């Protein structure tokens, strides 16, 4: 568990000290005029909470829906090629997900520190944390690329892929890995902007990247004019190109934000430009600062550990799915699982939007010494997310087969997956509370308790129930997914209880 401060909840907390590593950096900070962000964050720190939550979540919701469109687009193209192609993008998707969760070492810590510093009006610290997060993201992205390039065959073998499915999956993962550094950069800088209260810029950039991704994957996978069809490899190359477009775009925005404008022209710009100026990228700020890096990693490492535990549980879960006794081949069963997860993205990605909103609101209000408002904001985010996911639950239950028909032409895939998707419909509201309260806790700097609860639930609920339901009782994909349903409910209860205890209000970042 994180160690709370010794101050009582009602004790005022002094703003964190400015981070000025040396004389040169101090001079660089002096080049910037005072940044006023009252118009940007007044809604976050005062006034009605409901519109504040909605205003923050809506741009992220748009971004996440575009993310869902990308996953659906990839599945749609792969489903038109073969079940092996669907399996390839499914495995690569899980590996990219693993890398993304490891990138949380920079993203989660930077979000919490930037949000807390912005709430305390300590923009020097927010700017320096952004630059340190950028440097960490580059290093982790390169390490992730090397890791996937070398271990791709092992992942495919563990998931029982043989023959054409194995070779396609390995090649797809290795191509996809070339874009991981670009993804790490985009995610880290977007996390810092969201922590500062700017959720629209990430929407514009990452939303635009998703449009580029969709366009390129169709062209490269299926061919267009003189461009030949590269099949499933084209999906991977389109993703790689789009990720690097996003990284370059985000760097350009933050590198040129207000550079050299000491005249105070920021006051005439939009609040989003003001926030980008407060987080400007400068090479002199990227030199390693051990104290700040430790603070980022103190929050980020448990979050990445949470992600690693989650991935490990999911990976074992996938191994169970590929070994479930069934009348259908393994490739068909696994394709049904992948299509079902793609459909589930219609829920967990929008819920993530409210988790992001909760993290920013909790962090900034704690920085402004308003812990009670932070708690109210998180609860409101959870309520709004629950309403949205309740609607999705109805959609999953009553439109399960049409949804599967969109993403697969194989009737065997429909037969495997439709009952499982209808079961998933029943746990959508707990999923909303789980995702939002995890975001709120991380925004407060409490990233250890989610890691602990995830480890317990994966080991004691998801994996055992999946094995019993899928293999022992021969329940097919639905039987295996019972483990996922139980895991969602158990973690939702644990995260909700942790949040209600309120210890996160006293954690110092």
pLDDT at 123: 84
Closest CA to 16 of 108, 129, 98, 92: 129
**Token output for 151:** 């271990």
The span from the CA of 438 to the CA of 358, in Å, is 9
* pLDDT of 107: 87
Extract the residue ranges of the chain whose pLDDT is less than 70. 1-45, 257-277
With respect to residue 203, please indicate whether it lies within any of the assigned structural domains: yes
The tokens for 31 are 């080049």
Angstrom CA distances, 285 to 5, 25, 37, 344, 457, stand at: 29, 7, 22, 40, 40
Q: What is the pLDDT of residue 249?
A: 94
Q: Would you say the C-alpha torsion 261, 267, 269, 271 has a positive or negative sign?
A: positive
Note the pLDDT of residue 437.
97
So what's the pLDDT on residue 139? 93
Is 37 domain-assigned?
Answer: no
| pLDDT reported for residue 241 | 94
Q: Is residue 314 part of a domain?
A: yes
Q: Which two tokens stand for residue 337?
A: 């699982």
Q: What is the pTM of this model?
A: 0.73
Neighbours of 143 (CB within 10 A): 15
Task: Kindly report the three-state secondary structure assignment for every residue of 255-281.
Answer: HCCCCCCCCCHHHHCCHHHHHHHHCCC
Is residue 21 a part of any domain in this protein? no
Work out how many domains the chain is built from and give that number: 1
202 lies in some domain:
yes
Domain-embedded: residue 60: yes
In a domain, 6, yes or no: no
In this structure, how many other beta carbons lie within 10 angstroms of the beta carbon of residue 10?
9
pLDDT at site 264: 37
- Tell me the residue range of the domain where 271 lies: 48-506
Residue 453 has what pLDDT?
Answer: 95
Model pLDDT for residues 202-239, shown as the tens digit of each residue: 888 988 888 898 999 999 988 888 888 888 889 889 98
Taking alpha carbons only, the member of 130, 135, 140 closest to residue 257 is 130
At 210 the pLDDT is 86
CA-to-CA distance for 108 and 440, rounded, in angstroms?
11
In a domain, 27, yes or no: no
pLDDT at 33: 38
Looking at the DSSP bridge assignments, the partners of residue 503 are none
Q: How many CA atoms lie within 13 A of 126 on its CB side?
A: 32
């Amino acid at each position: 568990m994180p160690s709370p401060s010794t101050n009582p909840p009602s004790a005022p907390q002094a703003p964190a000290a400015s981070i000025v590593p040396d004389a040169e950096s101090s001079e660089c900070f002096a080049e910037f005029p005072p940044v006023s962000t009252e118009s940007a964050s007044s809604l976050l720190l005062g006034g009605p909470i409901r519109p504040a939550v909605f205003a923050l979540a809506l741009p992220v919701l748009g971004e996440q829906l575009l993310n869902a469109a990308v996953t659906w687009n990839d599945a749609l193209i792969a489903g038109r090629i073969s079940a092996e192609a669907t399996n390839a993008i499914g495995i690569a998707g899980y590996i990219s997900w693993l890398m993304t969760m490891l990138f949380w070492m920079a993203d989660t810590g930077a979000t919490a520190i930037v949000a807390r510093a912005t709430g305390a009006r300590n923009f020097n610290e927010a700017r320096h944390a952004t630059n340190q997060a950028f440097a960490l993201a580059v290093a982790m992205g390169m390490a992730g690329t090397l890791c996937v390039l070398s271990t791709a065959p092992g992942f495919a073998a563990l998931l029982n892929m043989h023959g054409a499915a194995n070779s396609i999956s390995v090649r797809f993962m290795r191509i996809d890995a070339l874009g991981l550094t670009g993804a790490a950069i985009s995610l880290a800088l977007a996390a810092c902007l969201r922590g500062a209260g700017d959720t629209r810029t990430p929407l514009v950039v990452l939303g635009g990247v998703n449009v580029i991704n969709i366009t390129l994957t169709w062209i490269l996978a299926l061919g267009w004019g003189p461009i030949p069809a590269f099949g499933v490899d084209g999906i991977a190359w389109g993703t790689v190109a789009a990720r690097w477009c996003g990284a370059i775009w985000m760097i350009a925005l933050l590198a040129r934000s207000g550079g050299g404008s000491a005249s105070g022209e920021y006051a005439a710009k939009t609040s989003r430009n003001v926030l980008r100026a407060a987080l400007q990228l400068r090479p002199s700020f990227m030199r390693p600062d051990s104290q700040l890096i430790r603070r980022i990693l103190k929050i980020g490492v448990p979050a990445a550990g949470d992600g690693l535990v989650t991935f490990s549980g999911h990976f074992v879960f996938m191994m169970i799915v590929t070994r479930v006794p069934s009348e259908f081949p393994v490739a068909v069963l696994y394709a049904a699982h992948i299509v079902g997860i793609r459909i589930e993205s219609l829920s967990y990605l929008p819920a993530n939007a409210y988790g992001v909103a909760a993290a920013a609101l909790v962090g900034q209000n704690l920085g402004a010494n308003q812990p009670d408002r932070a708690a109210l904001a998180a609860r409101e985010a959870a309520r709004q997310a629950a309403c949205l996911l309740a609607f999705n639950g109805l959609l999953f239950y009553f439109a399960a087969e049409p949804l599967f028909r969109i993403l697969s032409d194989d009737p065997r895939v429909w037969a495997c997956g439709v009952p499982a998707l209808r079961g998933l419909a029943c746990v959508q509201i707990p999923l909303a509370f789980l995702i939002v309260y995890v975001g709120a806790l991380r925004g407060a700097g409490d990233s250890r308790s989610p890691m602990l609860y995830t480890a317990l639930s994966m080991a004691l609920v998801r994996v055992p129930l999946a094995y019993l339901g899928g293999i022992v009782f021969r329940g097919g994909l639905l039987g295996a997914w019972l483990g996922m349903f139980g895991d969602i409910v158990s973690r939702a209860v644990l995260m909700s209880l942790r949040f209600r205890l309120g210890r996160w209000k006293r954690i110092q970042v």
